[in-house]
Amino acid sequence: MSQNSDAGMQVLYARVCGLDVHKKVVVACVRILDGKGVVHKTLRRFGTMTADLLELRQWLAEAQVTHVAMESTGVYWQPVFNLLEGHFEAWLVNAQHIKKVPGRKTDMKDAEWIAQLLQCGLLRPSLVPERKQRELRDLTRQRTKLVQQRNAVNNRIQKVLESANIKLGSVASDVLGVSGRSMIEALISGEKEATVLAELAQRQLRGKIPQLQRALTGDVSEHHRFLLRELLDHYDFLEQKITRMSERLREVAPSPFRAAVEQLDPIPGVAERGAEALLAETGTDMSRFPTHKHFASWAGRCPGNHESAGKHHSGKTPAANRNLDAVLTEIAHAAVRKKGSYFQAQYHRVAAHRGKKRAIGAVKHSLLITIYVMLRDNKPYRDLGADHFSRLNPQQHIRYHVRKLQELGQKVEVSPMPVAA
């Protein structure tokens, strides 16, 4: 099929292909611009088995295609991208960037539209990390799923204890800690005496033996013992899998990744596991992002911009990498609990005026900027301190506290302290 070059649109790539990827079929449209300015289109359907995708790759090679674009459709794009990567300039594009004008919609037309946009330079490729980083992502994301499952089992164990009127969770902060685990194992073995169970407490929990005796007096039946045994075994199984995932990460992670993990470890709330999850999502090479603003925008931590007719409609943060956002949220909540840290001071400063949710969002943004600068410049972490904001504008800080004292009915006179000789 031939047609004239797209009127009014500059062609940037002479030989391109647009792919409409589905679970069982891939529709391909090759567009070739000849020396006379005429565009030739060829459309074909391929299966998604490996042999079919190799046939697709061979067909594109014979057509001397240089650029290939496809939508990020679920996980179906991944095997296609993996087989084309390294042979062509493979682009993964955001589905929202290639919405077609309403009308007739078929797989063939979708592939044609993608190819046309690609040839005219109207698509922007998404950042697809290297294969090694994608494998690290698989490991950290799987470990996160296992941790979530383990937490769910922990909750079910507490539910069974509550149904037997065992209030261990009301006294011990960690039901499955060393002391709690010993008590539950004793309950499963048939021990009913609360005094005997309470004596299994260790360390600081021994100071709560009277409360434990009351909490461990319940009605534990054979049914409860069976459930607790099964749940504990499942909990141990998940613990083993989580440990295996962490060991595998250490085995396959390249040295720059391990060095970056150690570099980010001192940041409040991060620790080793958080650093691994973060770096698996962001990578260690910050040169891909021109500035910290580009990095924050890619991570979805910048305000949106929707303005029309001079009116600002929405500043909602756009959706981005959900896995990265979940890791950042967990780290931010841990960071604001670090006493005397900059992140705790920032959280309370923002929360006082804009609420806790926005304050956590501000901390997540600050964490991203900190990580970017540390990795870009290879610098160690240095906390700005809880007094950072008061040092920025000391007079404003003084006026704030004077006003608060005046609101309490106090007369305040402020004068600087004499400087020591």
Q: Report how far residue 229's alpha carbon sits from residue 189's, in angstroms, rounded to the nearest whole number.
A: 10
Residue-wise pLDDT for 136-152, tens only, equals: 999 999 999 999 999 99
Q: Dihedral (C-alpha) 130, 136, 138, 139: value to the nearest 10 degrees?
A: 170
* pLDDT value, residue 406: 81
* pLDDT value, residue 9: 63
Cα torsion angle, 360, 375, 144, 338, sign: negative
Under 8 Å CB-to-CB from 407, ≥6 apart: which residues?
Answer: none
- Strand partners of residue 16: 31, 67
Question: 311 versus 330: which is more confidently predicted?
Answer: 330
Q: Which amino acid is at 49?
A: M
* pLDDT value, residue 237: 97
What mean pLDDT do residues 345-366 have? 91
| Integer CA distances (angstroms), 234 to 2, 5, 239, in order | 63, 63, 9
Cα torsion angle, 81, 82, 83, 87, sign: positive
Q: Report how far residue 263's alpha carbon sits from residue 153's, in angstroms, rounded to the nearest whole number.
A: 33
pLDDT at 318 over 80: no
Residue 290: φ, ψ to 5°: -55, -40
Q: Report how far residue 157's alpha carbon sits from residue 174's, in angstroms, rounded to the nearest whole number.
A: 12
Flag whether the pTM goes above 0.85: no
b/e map of 45-66 (b: 16 or more CB within 10 Å)? ebebeeeebeebbebbeebebe
- Specify whether the CB–CB gap between 88 and 65 falls below 8 A: yes
Domains annotated for the chain, with CATH where assigned, are 2-119 (3.30.420.10), 132-252 (1.10.287), 255-303+317-377 (no CATH)
Residue-wise pLDDT for 82-117, tens only, equals: 999 989 999 999 877 776 656 667 888 889 999 999
Under 8 Å CB-to-CB from 98, ≥6 apart: which residues?
Answer: 71, 113, 114, 117, 123
Tokens 């993608």 belong to which residue? 114
Q: Which amino acid is at 302?
A: C
Residue-wise pLDDT for 404-414, tens only, equals: 888 888 887 77
Question: How crowded is residue 296: how many other Cβ atoms within 10 Å of its Cβ?
Answer: 19
pLDDT band at 386 (very low <50, low <70, confident <90, very high): confident
Give the three-state DSSP class for 340.
Answer: coil
What mean pLDDT do residues 4-17 have? 74
- Specify whether the CB–CB gap between 29 and 65 falls below 8 A: no
What mean pLDDT do residues 282-292 have? 91
